[in-house]
Chain A
Amino acid sequence: MADLSRRKFLVRVVVPAVAFGLNPQLVSAADVTRVTRLPRVGPQPVPVTLLVNGRSVDVPLEPRETLLDTLRDKLGLTGTKKGCDQGTCGACTVLVDGKRVNSCFTLAIMTQGKPVTTIEGLAKGDELHPMQQAFLDHDGFQCGYCTPGQILSAIGLLAEHRPTDAASVHEWMSGNLCRCGAYANITAAVQSVAGGAA
């Protein structure tokens, strides 16, 4: 019982109830008369298989659900943060197909078959990803809310082979806001990993 968090409890109770309403093939009479034949699913939840942090996960979801909401509310991966939910803060940054994206502007159903990496997928057991370790070593955060997004964005920056002088890191990390203002230490953390990898 100790590990039954509020979130896990909600997921256990709510998800089966949603799945019970599943009917992906529901087509109204009006649709049949239309000239198009492109099959569609929804709006009810449909079974979808996502590939998150190297694991294949079957989850029922509505087509309108964002990847952000699916990660947090369906998969319990609450490390990915919901800041603005409108593509302006970067707290929801994850990697899809190795590219950093805003999960608040991504429909989960459109990520089928694509590897998704969240902050929970970076460490190997107790061994932190070098970027996680660098944020600790350089004190690259204060409250920590933006940190998962910052770390995923920084990993994306290096994967894109962007320049890592301070001005370039500022520019190429500009999609991640830090209201505590830890930018100087975040920049140092990114540069330390870039230097180590070179």
Chain B
Amino acid sequence: MNPLRYAKAGDAGEAIATVANERNARYIAGGTNVIDLMKLHIEEPEVLVDITGLPMRSIAATAGGGVRLGALATMADVADSPLVSSGFPVVSQALLASASPQLRNMATIGGNVLQRTRCNYFRDASQPCNKRAPGKGCSAREGQNRFHSVIGTSEHCICSHPSDFATALVAVDALVHTRGTAGTRVIPIENLYVLPGDRPEIENVLRPGELIEAIELRPSAHARTSAYLKVRDRASYEFALVSVAAAVAVDGGVVREARVALGSVAPKPWRARDVEAALIGKPANDATFAAAGDVATRGMRGYGHNDFKIPMTRQAVRRALAITLPGGRA
């Protein structure tokens, strides 16, 4: 890890001004991603601005029946919140399926949604990577790409987004509250991210220094009956191969509202709108869910090692939808 300077922020404005105006300054909170990347020399900030002293850790019910999650709440804080598990089970389940108990005690949810890809070529400073060094080429397209994306890719980047939590947030229409040098704004989680296209180094719409202050969960019938299915190489403490966040409101045996988000198959948490459209108005049964699984794979393409993710997505969507039903089993 390179030598660096350290500043502890006493208020948000001070922290934002520092990171916005100073070259190569970066926030640190839980540290689980930035310290990892600093050790690998993938990120080399000269100044770390410690924001853990800012008052952004509370988890509170909102007037509308939702929950406001302070960005410094840890993954464990949020997973353990009854407000979250009762109204937004997909969010709790996604968090509990993430990382390890230790990492969940450390990592904050603001950092979680901004975590970088696990692409081995991105994480290896000796390898060409357009995200790290634009124009150098993508090593993964012709390389080991078992964990990579099957949709939303470009010729410049096929990385996948690793956050279970962010995938769940897409399924419950969460809002991201930010503060920057130009004031505050609210960004639907789905719009926080951008696809690699020809600029894979740009991963989200945040401006220099813009700080996530909170994530807002808004109540809905589909959020209350939601579930997270994570398929991975081992039963715990592993990133997903394919994951599905499903939120389905059923009334009279018919799907009235649906959200389906796919994780680890795209460079961002992937909202599958065509799958949602295939569900709404249909009977909530296995035939409908199987057909939805077929729809989910439309437009997907593999790069060799990750071809299996396409049929796996089909089955995972079908199973995830099944477990949203009362007494439902995968």
User: Residues on A close to B: CB < 8 A?
Assistant: 34-43, 62-64, 66, 85-87, 90, 93, 99-102, 104-107, 109-110, 153, 156-157, 160, 162, 170-176
A86 and chain B: residue at smallest CB distance: B36
The 8 nearest A-B residue pairs measured at CB: A175-B100, A43-B3, A63-B6, A40-B7, A174-B236, A174-B237, A36-B18, A42-B5
Q: Which residues of A contact B52 (CB under 8 A)?
A: 110
Query: How far apart are the CA atoms of A145 and B4 in the complex, in Å?
Result: 31
Given the known inter-chain contacts A41-B5, A41-B6, please indicate yes or no for A66 contacting B101, CB distance below 8 A: no
B173 within 8 A of A: no
Q: Are B3 and A107 touching (Cβ within 8 A)? A: no
Contact of B5 among A43, A87, A160 (CB under 8 A): A43
Query: How far apart are the CA atoms of A160 and B236 in the complex, in Å?
Result: 19
Show 8 A/B contacts (Cβ-Cβ < 8 Å), sorted by A: A43-B3, A100-B101, A102-B102, A104-B35, A105-B31, A160-B76, A171-B236, A174-B236
Residues of chain B in range 7-48 having any CB-CB distance to chain A below 8 Å = 7, 9, 14-15, 17-18, 21-22, 28, 31-32, 35-36, 38-39, 47-48
**Contact indicator per residue, chain B 101-139, by CB within 8 Å of chain A (1) or not (0):** 111011000000000000000000000000000000000
B49 within 8 A of A: yes
Query: How far apart are the CA atoms of A43 and B48 in the complex, in Å?
Result: 11
Output the residue of A39, A85, A100, A160 with the most chain B CB within 10 A. Answer: A100
Q: Which residues of A contact B39 (CB under 8 A)?
A: 85-86
Query: How far apart are the CA atoms of A143 and B17 in the complex, in Å?
Result: 50
Q: Are B100 and A66 touching (Cβ within 8 A)? A: no
Contact of A100 among B32, B50, B105 (CB under 8 A): B105
Q: How many Å from the CB of B90 to the closest CB on chain A? A: 19
Secondary structure of the B contact surface, majority rule: mixed
Q: Are B100 and A38 touching (Cβ within 8 A)? A: no
Secondary structure of the A contact surface, majority rule: loop
Q: Which residues of A contact B31 (CB under 8 A)?
A: 105-107, 110
Q: Are B35 and A172 touching (Cβ within 8 A)? A: no
Q: What class of interface size applies to chain B in its complex with A?
A: 35 or more
Q: Are A172 and B106 touching (Cβ within 8 A)? A: no
Q: Are A153 and B36 touching (Cβ within 8 A)? A: no
Q: Are A105 and B32 touching (Cβ within 8 A)? A: yes
Q: How many Å from the CB of A124 to the closest CB on chain B? A: 25
B1 within 8 A of A: yes
Q: Are A63 and B102 touching (Cβ within 8 A)? A: no
Contact of A101 among B14, B18, B105 (CB under 8 A): B105
Query: How far apart are the CA atoms of A163 and B142 in the complex, in Å?
Result: 45
Q: Are A36 and B48 touching (Cβ within 8 A)? A: no
B97 and chain A: residue at smallest CB distance: A171
Given the known inter-chain contacts A36-B18, A38-B18, please indicate yes or no for A64 contacting B106, CB distance below 8 A: no
Q: Which residues of B contact A40 (CB under 8 A)?
A: 5-7, 47
Q: Which residues of B contact A156 (CB under 8 A)?
A: 101-102, 105
Query: How far apart are the CA atoms of A39 and B235 in the complex, in Å?
Result: 45
Given the known inter-chain contacts A43-B4, A66-B35, please indicate yes or no for A153 contacting B102, CB distance below 8 A: yes
A149 and chain B: residue at smallest CB distance: B102
Q: How many Å from the CB of B330 to the closest CB on chain A? A: 17
Q: Are B102 and A175 touching (Cβ within 8 A)? A: yes
Query: How far apart are the CA atoms of A162 and B101 in the complex, in Å?
Result: 11
Q: How many Å from the CB of B263 to the closest CB on chain A? A: 19
A175 and chain B: residue at smallest CB distance: B100
B105 and chain A: residue at smallest CB distance: A99
Query: How far apart are the CA atoms of A110 and B49 in the complex, in Å?
Result: 11
